[in-house]
Amino acid sequence: MLQYVSKRALSMVLVLYIVITATFLLMHSIPGGPFTTEKQLTPEVLRNINARYHLDDPLWKQYIDYMGNILKFDLGPSFKYQDRTVNNIIADGFPVSIQLGTFAVLLAVPFGISAGILASLRHNRPLDYIVMSSSTLGISIPSFILASFLIYFFAFKIKLFPAAMWNGFSYMILPGISLAALPMAVVARLTRSGMLEVLSQDFIRTAKAKGVGKGLIIYRHALKNSLIPVVTYVGPMTAGILTGSFVVESIFNIPGLGRYFVTSIYNRDYTVILGITIFYSALIVIFNFLVDIAYVFLDPRISLDKKGDS
Amino acid sequence: MNTELFKRVDFQLDASYDIGRPSTTYWQDVWRRLNKNKLSILGLIIISFVAIAAIAGPFFTAYSYSDQNLQIANQSPSAVHWFGTDNLGRDLLTRVLYGARISLSIGIVASMSTMIIGVLYGGIAGLSGGRVDTIMMRIIDIVWSIPFLLYVILLMVVLQPGLMNIFIALTLVYWMPMARLVRGQILSLRELEYVLAAKLVGASSWRIIIKHLIPNSFGPILITATLTIPEAIFSEAFLSYIGLGVSAPMASWGVLASEGATSLRSYPFQLFFPAAAICITMLSFNFIGDGLRDALDPRMRK
Amino acid sequence: MQPILSVENLKVIFNTYAGTVQAVNDVSFTLHEGETIGIVGESGCGKSVTSSAIMGLIPSPPGRIASGRILFEGRDLVTMDEKSLQKIRGNQISMIFQDPMTSLNPVLTVGLQLAESFMLHQKLPKKKAMEKAVEMLKLVGIPAPETRIRQYPHQMSGGMRQRVMIAMALACNPQILIADEPTTALDVTVQAQIMELIKKLNTELSTAVILITHDLGVVAGMCSRVLVMYAGRVVESAPVNEFYANPQHPYSWGLLKSLPRPDMKSGTLESIAGQPPDLLAPPSGCAFMPRCRFAMEVCKQPPAPIKVTEDHMCRCWLLDKASPHTPVTLFKECETA
Ligand SMILES: Nc1ncnc2c1ncn2[C@@H]1O[C@H](COP(=O)(O)OP(=O)(O)OP(=O)(O)O)[C@@H](O)[C@H]1O
Ligand SMILES: [Mg+2]
Is the pLDDT reported for residue C11 higher than 80?
yes
Per DSSP, C89 falls in state: B
With left for phi above 0 and alpha for psi between -120 and 50, is residue C203 left, alpha or beta? alpha
Of A34-38, B187-191, C129-133, highest mean pLDDT: C129-133
Mean of the per-residue pLDDT values of chain C: 84
First to last CA, chain B: 43
- Omega cis (within 30) before C143: no
Predicted local confidence at residue A204, as pLDDT: 92
**Cα C206 to Cα B117, C200, C239, distances in angstroms:** 68, 9, 19
Predicted local confidence at residue A43, as pLDDT: 75
Which of these ranges, C6-15, C20-29, C178-187, has the smallest mean pLDDT? C178-187
Q: Are C48 and C57 in contact (CB under 8 A)?
A: no
Average pLDDT, integer, range C302-330: 80
The distance of B289 to chain A (nearest Cα, Å) reads 11
Q: Is the shortest distance between the CB of C279 and ligand 1 below 6 Å?
A: yes
Which pLDDT band, with edges at 50, 70 and 90, does C332 fall under? low
Average pLDDT, integer, range C188-194: 78
**What CATH code is carried by the domain that includes residue A232?**
1.10.3720.10
- Ligand nearest the Cα atom of residue C52: 1
Q: Are B32 and C318 in contact (CB under 8 A)?
A: no
Residue A282 forms part of a structural domain: no
Superfamily (CATH H level) for B35-63+78-300: MetI-like (1.10.3720.10)
Ion ligand 2: protein residues whose beta carbon lies under 5 Å? C 48
Predicted local confidence at residue C333, as pLDDT: 66
Residues C17, B302: C-beta atoms closer than 8 Å: yes
* Touching chains, B (3+ CB pairs < 8 A): A, C
Q: Is the shortest distance between the CB of C63 and ligand 1 below 6 Å?
A: yes
pLDDT digits (tens, 9 = 90+) for A11-25: 888 888 998 998 888
Predicted local confidence at residue A61, as pLDDT: 86
Q: Is the shortest distance between the CB of C219 and ligand 1 below 6 Å?
A: no
**Chain B residue closest to A284 (CA)?**
B146
Q: Choose from A203, A301, A304 for mutation: most chain C CBs within 10 A.
A: A203
Q: Which domain holds residue A250?
A: 98-255
Best probe residue, ligand 1, of C21, C278, C279, C280 (max atoms within 8 Å of C-beta): C21
Predicted local confidence at residue C264, as pLDDT: 46
Q: Is the shortest distance between the CB of C294 and ligand 1 below 6 Å?
A: no
Residues B150, A262: C-beta atoms closer than 8 Å: no
Predicted local confidence at residue B12, as pLDDT: 58
Residue A267 forms part of a structural domain: no
Atom of ligand 1 nearest to the CA of C41: 21
Residue A236 forms part of a structural domain: yes
Predicted local confidence at residue B39, as pLDDT: 85
Q: Is the shortest distance between the CB of C45 and ligand 1 below 6 Å?
A: yes
pLDDT digits (tens, 9 = 90+) for B50-62: 999 988 887 877 7
Residue A224 forms part of a structural domain: yes
Q: Choose from A36, A140, A153, A174 for mutation: most chain B CBs within 10 A.
A: A140
Best probe residue, ligand 1, of C16, C40, C48 (max atoms within 8 Å of C-beta): C48
Is the pLDDT reported for residue C13 higher than 70?
yes
Predicted local confidence at residue B214, as pLDDT: 67
Q: Is C126 on the interface with A (CB under 8 A)?
A: no
Ligand 2 center–CA B302 separation, angstroms: 17
Amino acid at C30: T
Higher per-residue confidence, A91 vs B262 = A91
Q: How, if at all, do strands C19-31 and C75-76 pair?
A: unpaired
Predicted local confidence at residue C182, as pLDDT: 82
Which residues in chain B touch residue C280, judged by CB atoms under 8 angstroms apart? 20-21
The distance of B206 to chain A (nearest Cα, Å) reads 27
Q: Give the full edge-to-edge strand order of the sheet including C312-315.
A: C93-96, C176-180, C208-212, C36-40, C225-230, C233-239, C312-315, C305-309
Provide CB contacts within 8 A for A65, sequence distance 6+. A54, A57
Average pLDDT, integer, range C139-159: 86
pTM: 0.83
Average pLDDT, integer, range C269-294: 74
List, in sequence order, every beta strand (DSSP E) within C150-292. Answer: 176-180, 208-212, 225-230, 233-239
**Chain A residue closest to B145 (CA)?**
A285
Strand, coil or helix: C128: helix
Predicted local confidence at residue B220, as pLDDT: 85
Which residues in chain A touch residue B264, judged by CB atoms under 8 angstroms apart? 148, 151-152, 156
Atom of ligand 1 nearest to the CA of C232: 14
- The Cα C53–Cα C70 span in angstroms is 9
Is the pLDDT reported for residue C334 higher than 70?
no
- Ligand nearest the Cα atom of residue C96: 2
Which residues in chain B touch residue A240, judged by CB atoms under 8 angstroms apart? 147
- Ligand nearest the Cα atom of residue C214: 1
Q: How, if at all, do strands C36-40 and C225-230 pair?
A: parallel
Tell me the percentage of chain A whose pLDDT exceeds 90.
28
Beta carbon pairs, A and B, within 8 Å = 107
pLDDT digits (tens, 9 = 90+) for A166-212: 877 888 889 999 999 999 999 999 999 899 889 888 899 999 999 88
Residues B8, C296: C-beta atoms closer than 8 Å: yes
Atom of ligand 1 nearest to the CA of C44: 19
- Ligand nearest the Cα atom of residue C27: 1
pLDDT digits (tens, 9 = 90+) for A281-300: 999 888 888 888 887 777 77
Q: Give the full edge-to-edge strand order of the sheet including C75-76.
A: C19-31, C5-16, C63-72, C75-76
Residues B7, C297: C-beta atoms closer than 8 Å: yes
B18 φ, ψ (degrees, to nearest 5): -65, -35
Residue A25 forms part of a structural domain: no
Domain boundaries, chain B: 35-63+78-300
Which residues in chain A touch residue B269, judged by CB atoms under 8 angstroms apart? none
Is the pLDDT reported for residue A113 higher than 90?
yes
Predicted local confidence at residue B299, as pLDDT: 54
Predicted local confidence at residue B298, as pLDDT: 54
Our count of domains for chain A comes to: 1
Residue A310 forms part of a structural domain: no
pLDDT digits (tens, 9 = 90+) for C104-123: 988 889 999 999 889 888 88
Q: Choose from C22, C296, C301, C320 for mutation: most chain B CBs within 10 A.
A: C296
Predicted local confidence at residue C271, as pLDDT: 61
- The Cα C121–Cα C86 span in angstroms is 9
By Cβ distance, the residue of C91, C105, C121 closest to A203 is C105
Is the pLDDT reported for residue A306 higher than 80?
no
Mean of the per-residue pLDDT values of chain A: 85
> Ligand 1: which residue has its CA nearest to atom 25?
C43
Which residues, given as ranges, of chain B have pLDDT below 50? 15-21, 300-302
CB neighbourhood size of A238 (10 A):
19
**Chain C residue closest to A123 (CA)?**
C61
Residues C86, A212: C-beta atoms closer than 8 Å: yes
Amino acid at A251: I
Residues A211, C86: C-beta atoms closer than 8 Å: yes
Per DSSP, C108 falls in state: S
First to last CA, chain A: 15
Predicted local confidence at residue A307, as pLDDT: 41
Is the pLDDT reported for residue A102 higher than 90?
yes
pLDDT digits (tens, 9 = 90+) for C20-60: 888 898 899 999 888 999 999 888 888 999 999 999 888 87
**Considering only CA atoms, which of C326, C317, C252, C238 is closest in space to residue C42?**
C252
